[in-house]
Amino acid sequence: MKVAFITRVENKKDYEKSELKILTRAVRNARINDIYILSKNKPTTDKVDSIRVKTLPHKNPISPTSFNRFFKEIDNQSYKAFFVCSKEVSISKKDITELITQLEANPKLLVVGYCFKTKNKFLNNIIQKNYSDKNNLAYRVPWNTCCIWNLNLFKKYIVNFDEITNAEIKCNLEITYKGNVLKTEYKGMEDGLAIAKAASMYSIKFKLLDKKLNWKTNDEKKLLRKDIVLRTFMTIRGYSVKDLLSAEIK
């Protein structure tokens, strides 16, 4: 299976930071054919240990739909899957190989991903509590924080990540946690919305692995808003909660 790896950074100088170096080292040692880095910088092509590394320019590379730039780039390539991972995630060659193996074993799976944990006890409590809540849709699906997508199924049933996830809802979202009201935005969850589309319209399946990878995050608002954002976008698009839950396989 030919697999492309893609990640997002604000500027190419972030590529030199230790987190991304560690990530790309793991990728090079796994079954990955090419690496793509979305950033604000000019396009470049390099080679590292016989693996091609391409920088793809994007005005807002960390936006939810910046991955759509990647789909335009690889139209004539023969990739069967694309692996997405944030540089803040601690992942090994073994973890990446497991994702690829899972996808190869079931070609009808749209996406396979990992769960997460973080060393920050306060934020980790939020994450694990949400995983335990079976009514929390956002924590039932893989995230582009670290997952692998079947590119053929994505092109056939999804095409692009939905632009609605770029905060098209122009009102603030208020989340209450421990008595504090936090103002945030309706944005993100492009991954969950794509899965909901495939599940609602085509009964396509997905899988979330139980293993939890270490993730460096300090965005409390992002963690708290995920479920209501996904539900709101699903309502707007008319996607079924029941179908999404039915699409999960163990």
List, for residues 185-196, the tens digit of each pLDDT value.
889 999 999 999
Share of the chain above pLDDT 90, in %: 62
- The pLDDT-based confidence of 15 (bands split at 50, 70, 90) is low
Q: Which fold has domain 3-249?
A: Spore Coat Polysaccharide Biosynthesis Protein SpsA; Chain A (3.90.550)
pTM score of the predicted model:
0.92
Buried b (16+ CB within 10 A) or exposed e, 71-100: bebbeeeeebbbbbbbbbbebeeebbebbb
Q: Which two tokens stand for residue 160?
A: 């692009």
Rounded Cα–Cα distance for residues 187 and 225 (Å): 9
Strand partners, 33: none
What's the confidence (pLDDT) of residue 160?
96
> Within 13 Å, how many C-alpha atoms sit on residue 155's CB side?
15
Say which residue, 31 or 85, is predicted with more confidence.
85
Handedness of CA 231, 139, 102, 216 (dihedral sign): positive
First-to-last CA distance in the chain?
23
Span 102-112, average pLDDT: 96
Rounded Cα–Cα distance for residues 76 and 79 (Å): 9
* pLDDT exceeds 70 at position 197: yes
What are residue 143's phi and psi, to 5 degrees?
-110, 160
* pLDDT exceeds 60 at position 24: yes
User: By mean pLDDT, which of 12-21, 200-209, 220-229 is the weakest?
Assistant: 12-21
Task: Tell me the pLDDT of the chain averaged across its residues.
Answer: 89
Cβ contact 104:88 at 8 Å: no
What's the confidence (pLDDT) of residue 18?
55
